[in-house]
Structure 1
Amino acid sequence: MRHTPRLSRMFALLAGVLLTAGGLTAPAVLSTASATEPAAPGTASAAPPPVLRAEGNKLVDARGDTRRLLGVNRSGGEFACVQGWGVFDGPVDDASVRAIADWKANTVRIPLNEECWLGTANIDPKYAGANYRAAIDELVQRVQRHGMTPVVELHWSHGQYTGNSAGCHDIHASCQKPMPNARYTPAFWTSVARTYKDDPEVVFDLFNEPYPDRATPTTAEAWTCWRDGGRCPGIGYEVAGMQDLLDAVRATGAKNLVLAAGIAYANDLSGWPRHAPADPADNLAAAWHVYNFNTCADEGCWNRTLAPVAAEVPLVAGEIGENTCSHGFIDRVMKWFDDRGLSYLGWTWNAWDCSSGPALISSYDGTPTPFGIGLRDHLRALDTRKATTTS
C-alpha cells in the first residue's frame, strides 16, 4: 500500500519551508492540481518501482536482487521557474510519461531548482514554493505509477560565482554553480527529504555537476571543498559540502538511496573513494556524467578511474550524451556499463534540436532523434524492469 507515503508527502508539501537564514517563508498555497489526487481514468497504474538500497557495490531491491537504474533525464524543472514562464519545459502529463515508459526506461531523473522549491522572493509565486513542490510531486507520482524510479536532483542553486567557467554572474539560481551553498541548500534537502522520507522509492541526487576544481588551485583542495564545504578557495560564498547535504537528509530520518556526483562537472571520480561522505544509513552511491566532449571520455580513462569506484560502491551515470546528433559515443558508454552491470540515464527527454545539444526526442510522444534512437533501441533490447544477471 502506498497511501501512507502520499499522505505524509501531502502534509510536508502543505507545511511549507521556513528559511531562517533568509527570513523567508514559502507560499502556503497549493496549486489547483492537488499532489494527492488519484490517477485520472485511463492513466497507468503499473507495479510500483522497487525500493533500492546500496549493498556492497550493487543496487538491490527488497528481495536482494540486483537492479540497475536505466532511463532518461526530464529537464525543465531547473530553469523554467526561475526564468518566470512555468515549471516544466513541455508536457509532463500521463501520456508524455507513458511515452518514456514505452522506451522500457525504468528511471526518470528530475532536475530541480532550490529557489523555486523553497519559494524565495525573486521567483514568481505561481511557480514557487508550494505550487512548485506540488507540480514536481505530481510528476514524481506519475513516474511511479508507470513503474519507474524517480530521481530528484538539485541542478541550479543560489550563490554568486564569477570565477573560472562561471555559467552566470547572478547570485540567484539561474545557472549551474560550482558547489551548493550553505545558506539555502541544506534547507532545500531538509525539505525534500521530509517530503519523501516515507516514500523510499524516490532517489536523491545531491548536486548535479560540482566543479570546485575550476575555482581551487589544486585538485586536492577541490575534493576537500567537495566533501567538507566551508570557505573554499576561489568561491565567494560559503559552500555546503556533500557531507553537509547528506547530514541534512539523514537528520530527517530519510533512509532513501542517495547519489553523490564527483568533481569536474561530475566527470571525475578519482578522489571519490577517499573523500566519500560518511552515511549513517549506509545507502550511498557514486554518480558520474559523461559526454563525448568531456576529459574522461574513453575506455582507458573509465578503466583507470571508474572501475575502482565501481568495485566499491554502486555507480550511476546520471547523464550520458553526445553533441553529434548520433549515438556512436553513448553506444560505447552503454556497452562499458552493461558489461559491469552499472546504471545510466540519457540526457535529455526534451524536444530540442539534437544538433544543438543531446536531445533524445523530437516530440513528446516519444519520437526519437537520431541520437535518441540509440538509447531507445538499447533500452528496449534490455529487460530493464528485471534484476540484472551481470555479476
Structure 2
Amino acid sequence: MKLARPAVLRLDAGPLAGCLLGLFVVQGGGCYEPVVDEGAGDTGSSNSSGDGDGNGDGDGDGSASGDGDGDMPPLAPEGYYVKGNKIYASDGQVHVFRGIDRPSLEWSPNGEGISQADIDLIASWNANVIRVAINQGFWLEGSVVYNSGYRQRIDDVVAWSKAAGMDVVLDLHWSDKGDLSQVPAQQRMADENSRAFWQSVAERYKDDGRVIFELYNEPHDVAWFVWLNGGDSGDGFEAVGMQALYDTVRDAGADNLVLIGGLNYAYDLSGVPNHRVEGYNIVYTSHPYDFGNKQPGTWDADWGFLAETDPIFVTEFGSFDCNPSYSQQLIDYAEQRGLSWSAWAWFPGGCGFPALIEDLSGTPSATGQIVKTALGAN
C-alpha cells in the first residue's frame, strides 16, 4: 500500500493516544499520513518491453490442471510448488490464490479487531488466502518494540485462518533499517535484522506449507542490482537483497512458497528477467494502485509480461477515490490470465486507505462489494 499508511507505531490495540506525524485519523483508530507515489519508477528500474525471455526457469506451458507432477521441486507439507508459470497444490492441480489483505499487526502487536470471528468473516467472502502484514520488531527479541506475545498472536491467526479454509501469506511489512533501537516502519528495503526475522519465521513454519512467505512488502528507490544483491540503500543503511532473504528461508530448511515483490513499491517487475532470484517455488508479486503511471494500459509492459514465464500473485491493489472501476479492471485482468490476487484491505479506513469494508462487521465498501462478488464466483 502506498497511501494512507500508519505513520506512528501503536504499541497496543487500545484507543489511539496521539499522532506525531499523521495528517488524519481513520475509523479503526490508526494514524495515517498520505505518501506521494514515486512517479515513473525507481532508480535503476528498466522500462523493458517485457518479452519475458531473460533466463526464465520455467517453460510457461503448464496450462492444464494436473500437469505439474513431473520434476516436482521440494515442497513443505500440504504446501505448493512452482513449475513453469503456474502454482500447483501438492495433489498436482493448478492453484490460484484469491483473497484479502488483513493489516494492523504491523502497527499493533495484537492487531485491531483481529479475532477468530474476524477471520471467519473474511473467509465467508469465499477467500482462499489471507495476507497478514508483519512487523519484524515485534517479532525479534532485542528490538525496542519487541512484544513477547507477538509470535503466539501470529500462530493464532495462522490457526484460525487454516481452520476457516484459508492459506496464510506472512508479509514482512515494517522493518528497522538494521537498528533494533529504531521503531520500525516501511523502508526502501529489508536489512540484516530482516534476515534474522526470516530465519526465525521459516524455522517456525517450515512444516506447514499452507504458510507462505512474502519477503518484503514494497521495495522502492534502489537499483535492481541492490534489489537482488543488497548494498547501499541510499537511506542510511545497508540493504539486504532478495537473494539473501530467499537463501535465509531455504537455509532454515523451509520449502514453503516464497513471494517476491519488484520495485516502485512492488509494482514494477520489468527488471526481473535480468535480475532473477535463483531458487525454486518462487512467485513474483505486483501492487497496482490507481496512480497515473500504473494504469491498465501499462500493466503488460510493467509487470504482466512476466506471467509468460513465472507465476504472478498480485498481493495488493486498490484505488483511493471510492471509484471501484480500477479494482474491477485488475480482477478481470488477473482472471483472464490465471493470476493469483489479494485485495487491500480488510480494515475500515475509508477510501484513502483504501478499505474493502465500512466497519469491522464486514459491511463491504463499493470496492469491497466488487471483491466479494469476484471471490464468490470462484
User: TM-score, structure 1 length as denominator?
Assistant: 0.74
Could you tell me which of 337, 358, 363 is aligned with 2:334? 337
Matched with 2:80 is 52
Q: Distance in 1 between matches of 2:338 and 2:200?
A: 33
Counterparts in 2 of 1:368 and 1:227: CA distance versus 1, 3 Å? same
Q: Distance in 2 between matches of 1:293 and 1:305?
A: 14
Matched with 2:74 is none
Matched with 1:116 is 138
The size of the alignment, in residue pairs, is 302
Q: Distance in 2 between matches of 1:116 and 1:272?
A: 31
Say whether the 8 Å CA contact 2:134–2:170 is kept in structure 1: yes
Matched with 2:364 is 368
Q: Distance in 2 between matches of 1:172 and 1:229?
A: 20
Say whether the 8 Å CA contact 2:270–2:302 is kept in structure 1: yes
Say whether the 8 Å CA contact 2:78–2:208 is kept in structure 1: no
Aligned residues: CA RMSD: 1.9
Q: Distance in 2 between matches of 1:261 and 1:53?
A: 18
- What's the offset of the Cα at 1:153? 1.0
Matched with 2:190 is 180
- What's the offset of the Cα at 1:357? 2.1
- What's the offset of the Cα at 1:67? 0.9
Q: Distance in 2 between matches of 1:335 and 1:116?
A: 37
CA deviation profile, 1:146-196 (whole Å, cap 9, x unmatched): 1101000100001189xxxxxxxx9724321001112x1100000000000
Say whether the 8 Å CA contact 1:99–1:364 is kept in structure 2: no
Determine helix, strand or coil for the equivalent of 2:106. Answer: coil
Say whether the 8 Å CA contact 1:268–1:296 is kept in structure 2: no
Runs of 4+ aligned structure 1 residues displaced above 3 Å come to: none
Matched with 2:291 is 293
Q: Distance in 1 between matches of 2:303 and 2:157?
A: 32
Counterparts in 2 of 1:160 and 1:181: CA distance versus 1, 3 Å? closer
Q: Distance in 2 between matches of 1:330 and 1:98?
A: 23
Determine helix, strand or coil for the equivalent of 1:319. Answer: coil
Matched with 1:202 is 211
Amino acid of the structure 1 residue aligned with 2:116: D
Counterparts in 2 of 1:365 and 1:50: CA distance versus 1, 3 Å? farther
Could you tell me which of 149, 154, 164 is aligned with 1:136? 154
Amino acid of the structure 1 residue aligned with 2:208: D
Equivalences for residues 209-288 of structure 1 within 5 A: 209-213=218-222, 222-232=223-233, 234-279=234-279, 282-288=280-286
Say whether the 8 Å CA contact 1:50–1:149 is kept in structure 2: no
Amino acid of the structure 2 residue aligned with 1:149: D
Q: Distance in 2 between matches of 1:346 and 1:242?
A: 23
Q: Distance in 2 between matches of 1:144 and 1:133?
A: 17
Say whether the 8 Å CA contact 1:153–1:207 is kept in structure 2: yes
Matched with 2:70 is none
Amino acid of the structure 2 residue aligned with 1:133: R
Counterparts in 2 of 1:102 and 1:174: CA distance versus 1, 3 Å? same
User: TM-score, structure 2 length as denominator?
Assistant: 0.76
- What's the offset of the Cα at 1:294? 5.8
Say whether the 8 Å CA contact 2:348–2:356 is kept in structure 1: yes
Calculate percent identity across the aligned residue pairs.
35
Could you tell me which of 333, 353, 358 is aligned with 1:357? 353
Does residue 88 (structure 1) correspond to residue 97 (structure 2)? The answer is no
Counterparts in 2 of 1:160 and 1:137: CA distance versus 1, 3 Å? closer
Matched with 2:311 is 314
Q: Where is the helix percentage greater, Structure 1 or Structure 2? A: 1
Q: Distance in 2 between matches of 1:50 and 1:274?
A: 32
Say whether the 8 Å CA contact 1:159–1:171 is kept in structure 2: no
Q: Distance in 2 between matches of 1:230 and 1:303?
A: 29
- What's the offset of the Cα at 1:231? 2.8
Amino acid of the structure 2 residue aligned with 1:116: F
Matched with 2:43 is none
Does residue 154 (structure 1) correspond to residue 172 (structure 2)? The answer is yes
- What's the offset of the Cα at 1:50? 5.8
Q: Distance in 2 between matches of 1:363 and 1:190?
A: 36
Determine helix, strand or coil for the equivalent of 1:73. Answer: strand
Counterparts in 2 of 1:321 and 1:50: CA distance versus 1, 3 Å? farther
Structure 1: segments with no counterpart, 5+ residues: 1-48, 82-86, 162-169, 214-221, 384-391
Matched with 2:106 is 78
